[in-house]
Amino acid sequence: MKALILVGGFGTRLRPLTFSKPKPLVDFANRPMIMHQIEALAKVGVKEIVLAVNYQPKTMVDAMHEVEELYKVKIHFSIESEPLGTAGPLALARDILAKDDSPFFVLNSDVICEFPFEELLNFHKEHGCEGTLMTTPVEDPTKYGVIVQKEGSCAIDRFVEKPKEFVGNQINAGIYIFNPKMLDRIEPKPTSIEKDVFPFMAKAGQLHAMPLAGFWADVGQPKDFLSGTALYLESLHHHQPDALKKAEDIVGHVMAHPSAKIGKNCKIGPNVVLGPNTVIGDGVRISNAVIMDGSSVRDNACVHDSIIGWASSVGRWGRLENITVLGEDVHVADEVFVNGGCVLPHKSVGANILEPRIVM
């Protein structure tokens, strides 16, 4: 079996983290985001994976050598000379995706869920049409393109963009499975699969929808990255509780790398990920936060609703909150308050940031 992951894009919504790494290599729950997807694909028997890349391709190629060996998969790189949207990359990779009659998976690189690929494959084979997309419910469907199914059927009738009146609450989850025949609908040019392909497949009765069980998160921007982390940790609590740290100073769900060091009299959690070689001082408070590889939070500092990038530090009695994001190698001085700051890599912050802003 085969799969294509849409890796292309500059990751602008997740800056400043994506100034240091392509978005698929940004650590999510202490592993590169794309590793969660590749592992799940390998588990259902996918042997060949195409990564559609147009940003920092060499970095992606170098990072995947180890992944191929780990999961016993062959990774192909489809390098786009220009961004091809969400459909063009499928046509570009046609030689691999259509070399036999077996269906292939397609997914967006910033989606995190429990990846029920086996259920999706079985569902797709049962209805026998060209494509299946997974759907997920949302509280406010007026912000999205809503999927409307034919009455009493799993077949998709139409798509309604940002409906003013309620027509449903199921949206595209960014996970698909297709028969190679659907590639005849796409040309190797910038094309949107959502706007230029799906409506025509639906009109032809060739596109079905399967609801996604469990949590779903698009973690492509800091606020959603943090809420997605909380959902992921909640899922681990139910399915792999041993992956979470338990200790007197832990509150709620916390993932801590074995090399992470936590000082005395701390309160860590809920919804915290501590990366490799992180150092947490005494009396520290951390909640709804991600601390990445090699970073430190010094004595009596507080970090809430924030992401600390690689090899960064927060000084003693410092405070980060309100979706603050520190890029790589950022250092916040003692007793400094950062409220919603977005700090670019290799910067020092020596004065309070009282209103959300970008520090360049």
By annotation, the residues acting in catalysis are: 162
Burial of 101 (0-12, 13-18, 19+ CB in 10 A): exposed
Phi, psi of 305 (to 5 degrees): 50, 50
Judge contact between 282 and 299, C-beta under 8 A.
Answer: yes
Q: 59 to each of 26, 301, 346, how far by Cα in Å?
A: 12, 34, 20
> Which residues lie below 8 Å from residue 328, measured CB to CB, with a gap of 6+?
16, 17, 19, 20, 309, 310, 311, 312, 345, 346
Residues 239 and 230: their CA atoms lie apart, in Å, by 14
Residue 116, preceding peptide bond in cis (omega within 30° of 0):
no
Q: How many CB atoms lie within 10 A of CB 83?
A: 15
- Could you tell me the maximum CA-CA distance found in the chain, to the nearest angstrom? 64
Contact 350, 333 (CB under 8 A): yes
Contact in structure between 338 and 324 (CB atoms under 8 Å) = yes
Given phi > 0 = left and psi -120 to 50 = alpha, else beta, which region is 144?
beta
Q: How far is CA 191 from CA 80, 134, 176, in A?
A: 13, 20, 17
Query: What does the DSSP assignment read for 212-223?
Result: PPS-EEE-SSHH
User: Is the separation of the CB atoms in 13 and 108 below 8 Å?
Assistant: no
Distance between CA 360 and CA 355 in Å, rounded?
15
Residues 310 and 327: beta-carbon distance below 8 Å = no
